[in-house]
Structures are given as C-alpha cells and as structure tokens.
Structure 1
C-alpha cells in the first residue's frame, strides 16, 4: 500500500463498494498495482476515517469538474487546502489520487447518494463545510461550484437552514445578515433568541460530533465551531449584548 495508508488512516469500510469503490479502485489500481483494500478493509456499512476522506476527494473532483475544465491554479488551491488540513505527506497522497479521479467520468448524483446513505448527519455537514472551504479558498465565488455543492446538499437531505448556516461565513463580504444565517435565525430575533440559538448551534457543530473520523477531520470541524462563535460575537457587538 505504501504511503497511501497515511491518507486513508484506519482503512476503508463502505467506500470499497458502489460507485465510489469503482472510482477509487481505478485510481489506486493505476497507482499501486494491487488490491485497493488489501489489509485495510473494514466491515461494509461501517464508516471509517478513509471512507470520509475518499468521499471528500470524489466530491472535490466533482466540484473541480463543475465548470468543464480543471486548471493548475485550481489544483494549487486544493493542494494548499489539503496540506493545511491533512499535513504535507497525507496531502501529497491525496493529490495523486485526486488527479486520477479527475481523469474519470464521475456521476455526481450516484456518488452523493452513496455518501448520503452511509454518513451520519454531522459527518455530512462537515463534508459540506470542507467543500465550501475548497470552493472559496481562492476568495472567489464561482456559481458553478456553489451550484454543485447545493445539489450535493440536496441529495444528502441537508436542511435548508443548515446549508445556509454553513455557507454564511463565506458570504460576509456580500451578505450583511451572514451572522444571523450562521445561527439559523432571522434579523428580527430577540437578544434572548440569539443566545438560545448560539447554544443550540454550538452543540450541533461541536468537533466531538466527528470524533470517529480522526484528528485531522476533527481539527477542520473546529473551524466551523469557531465561525459559530464569530457570528455570535458579531451580533453581541452589534446589539450590545452582555
């Protein structure tokens, strides 16, 4: 398996089958000339750290293909993101796999359905958070990328307010109500409703919710947790809440 094990962590579970299994098998088969899961496969239906990471790479490939072309600038942005979130060694492995995925046709609906059926809700929220991180890593809002993430969220059956909450921090420069959307409330909310919403959201996005996906994913989940705090602090300042 070589250094590939660094990327998938504790192995693969349900991602060895279905459309993702076919994509990953092709990508890794061409790189490692052997069984993709030899010595690392876990029970079908079990979500392993590797399942989440492979799901991320497949969906990143979908987003990068969204505008019909993949350029070096996009790959550079993704590499920077991967290094920041998963370390240098893991990022290099992931980038190799991603390049192979980009060479294949991917049915966005099929892979999103497989992921949606196997990941729990908290893990799906974190996956969307990471996709937004990548889509906006270059500071540019691209409609094709946003539309792809929105379609994925719909297949995941993500609640509309949850989707808007994840998107809101990336829209600060164009949406004056971003902090309210982050906390899933209306600008007409009372101060007490804001406090209550903050406590609810802090529980929903607590990093411990994705404990089983490994320290690297938990670290990235902490960023979303911080954005909830940032939204709350922004509203406290606006309204003079103690």
Structure 2
C-alpha cells in the first residue's frame, strides 16, 4: 500500500522519474513493516495477528492446567493460586466465570502445550510470553517448591515459547533460590564489574518494564510488575553486597 502512495506523490512532484523513485522507496517501507504508532523493537510481534482476550485467557488457563498436573497430582494450593490471581485481577464475578472454564479445562486428559505455544508465539510479543512463563512458575511454586517434573514442563514450554536460556534462568532464579540468584536474575556472572552490573540492570529494567508488556490481560500486566520489582530487588541486593550506589 505504501509503495503506491509514494509512487503517486513522486509522480505529482517529479512526474515519471519521481513515480519510479517513490515506488522503490515505498516498497522498502512495505518490506520493513510500514508505519507504526511507536518505535519498533526486537520484541515486535511475529505477525500482525492479535489474540482476543477470551482466546488469551483460555490458552493461558490451558497452560496453567498443564503445570498443575505436571507432577501427577492436582494441588489445592496451586488451584487456589490461580483462583486468587484472577480474583485480584478481575474481581469476583469475572474471576468465577473464568474459573468455571478452568475447571473444565483441567479435566481434559490431553492438552498440547506445543500447539498452544505455537499459537501464542504468532500472536503475542516476547515480553508477554516471558510474563506468562513467570506466572506459570508462580503456580508451580505455590505449594512450596517447584518439583523436577514441573521444572521440566516449564523448560519445555519455554522452548515452545522461544524463550532464550538466559531469560529462562532469570525467571527461574526468582522462584528457585540459590546463592547467586541476584546475578542470575540480571543475567550476569558474579565476577561482573560494577559498571557491568549497572548496564545489566538498565537492560533488564527496559526489557521487563510493565509499559513494554502490551496485552489486554490484567493478570499478565500484574505479572510484569512483579517481575520488574524482582529485577529492582536483585540490583539493590548486589549494591548492598558490594557497598556501591
């Protein structure tokens, strides 16, 4: 579309040579994705398609059910975690309706994580998928610990989501504690310089800032806020350990 507008303007200004030049420039813009209401980022959607709120919730709930059933049993605390999350996000009436759907979803014997994730990869930004993974980790940890079978399933889903290893380790460090958690959250080594720590914090703060998570789903937005706070907490912990500001 842009190439024809550019060709018309080129012809209007410079006649035939201008039309050719305009068509070439417009074609380049078309190939780059055209005009945008905001700056392009590496997290731009893979396609121009969007997922409706209803489809998003259904697919998210399906992934929740996969994690809850990953260790071969349905934990009441994990169910309560999901319910409370949607209650605090949507209010009682809508949350109850969503949870009725969830009860039906969790009874299904087979749900394909690969199919769901492929669908979401085409329709959501990378940041949104990171927050979905963060939410799923929260469910797995709701009963006190993330079991090996749950972790294996989370790793599998992360692969289908095309989440990078460092991003996966960063999220995992927020739920499975170790001595070097703060560094893992910022995706750096413990021997990083103070300047490298500051740079890593700035990069992570940009990546996980809630404003970059473009979604109509309030639960995922809240997840982004939680993860952003974890990034800030990790940075402050390192600052205290090193005695720097």
The 2-side partners of 1:235 and 1:144 are apart by 31
1:1-242 matches, within 5 Å, as 45-104=49-108, 105-172=110-177, 175-242=178-245
CA shift at 1:110, angstroms?
1.9
Deviation at 1:71, TM superposition (A): 4.5
- Once residues 201 and 221 of structure 1 are traced to their aligned partners in structure 2, the CA distance between those partners, rounded to angstroms, is 12
CA distance in 1, matches of 2:218, 2:72: 34
Q: Which runs of 5+ in 1 are unaligned?
A: 1-43
Q: How far did 1:116 drift?
A: 2.3
Return the TM-score normalized by structure 1: 0.75
CA distance in 2, matches of 1:214, 1:99: 20
Q: What is the CA deviation profile of residues 107-159 of structure 1, one whole-angstrom value per residue up to 9, with x for unaligned ones?
A: 22222222223222111111101111111123222121111111000111111
Deviates more, 1:188-197 or 1:53-62: 53-62
Query: Secondary structure, in 3 states, of the residue corresponding to 1:81?
Result: helix
User: Considering only aligned residues, what root-mean-square deviation do their CA atoms show, in Å?
Assistant: 1.8
CA distance change for structure 1 residues 233 and 177 in 2, over 3 Å: closer, same or farther? same
Q: Which runs of 5+ in 2 are unaligned?
A: 1-47
Report how far residue 215 of structure 1 moved.
4.1
Cα distance change, pair 111–217 in 1 and its aligned pair in 2 (3 A): closer
Q: Whole-Å Cα distance in 1 between the matches of residues 244 and 115 of structure 2? A: 47
Question: Aligned equivalents of 1:214 and 1:65: distance in 2?
Answer: 24
